[in-house]
Structure 1
């Protein structure tokens, strides 16, 4: 039990000390994790687990939509994509179709990977090679 409590404490500290960009990365990773688990549940015939994990994924996507800075032009382009993903998850849940989950997973992975690149570029600008910290 002690190991589980230590891990939960570590997770909570990670979230509490993360920057906004790191939190967004965590949301993308959570989205990917829940989609993959939904697919496993779907393949195993675990309808309750599939439903629960699809709903978790939808909650993550809703959080991503809420945290968009609408003053930035790219946010205006991201919002419809998030809405589309949310809608497709509903369809996957109702129709029990794994290919729809694969489609949403592709978007989530692409967004996550792009976001990682944004974080790296920002860090490089903040701390150029050879700069003194």
Structure 2
């Protein structure tokens, strides 16, 4: 269902996108598959940070979390799609990521945890599927 060769662009684009959104160590030696895993993890962490900020009334923390989630979606996940080579899958992911960007912005404006829940629920199946194919990707020698 997911393939780094079809839906996503070159491995260097993953690394550049991840570095650009403030990733820490481990990026240079990571495969494209691992980089996407890092993006999914970072997204979930950012949404959790935003939720924590909402619950405690820490506006700056909420904003920081939502802005980070938006950058991961827009610059990391969406920005790394290869819409020409990826076909319908890449277009569907692009549409999902555009929707997530809209909903994250609405969550920030409305201070709405329910929208954050929706945003996590939408990414969770992708995150799980991507993680599940990790062994297969590694076994075939593809990144």
Give the TM-score normalised by the residue count of structure 2: 0.76
Runs of 4+ in 1 over 4 A off after TM superposition: none
Q: How much does 1:125 deviate? A: 4.1
Q: Which runs of 5+ in 2 are unaligned?
A: 1-22
1:109 aligns with 2:124: yes
Q: Which has the higher helix share?
A: 1
Structure 1 residue corresponding to 2:82, chosen from 62, 65, 69: 69
1:56 aligns with 2:71: no
> Which digits, 9 at most, give the CA deviation of each residue in 1:77-114, with x for residues without a partner?
10000000010000000000000000001122221111
Q: Which residue of 2 aligns with 1:7?
A: none
Moved more, 13-22 or 79-88: 13-22
Indicate the structure (1 or 2) with the bigger Cα radius of gyration: 1
1:30 aligns with 2:45: no
Taking CA–CA contacts closer than 8 Å with sequence separation of 6 or more, which of the two structures ends up with the larger relative contact order?
A: 2
Give the TM-score normalised by the residue count of structure 1: 0.81
Distance 1:61 1:17 in 2: 22
Distance 1:77 1:117 in 2: 20
What secondary structure, in the 3-state scheme, does the structure 2 residue paired with 1:72 have?
A: helix
For the structure 1 residues 12 and 47, does the alpha-carbon distance in structure 2 shift closer, same or farther, using more than 3 Å as the test? closer
Q: How much does 1:117 deviate? A: 1.5
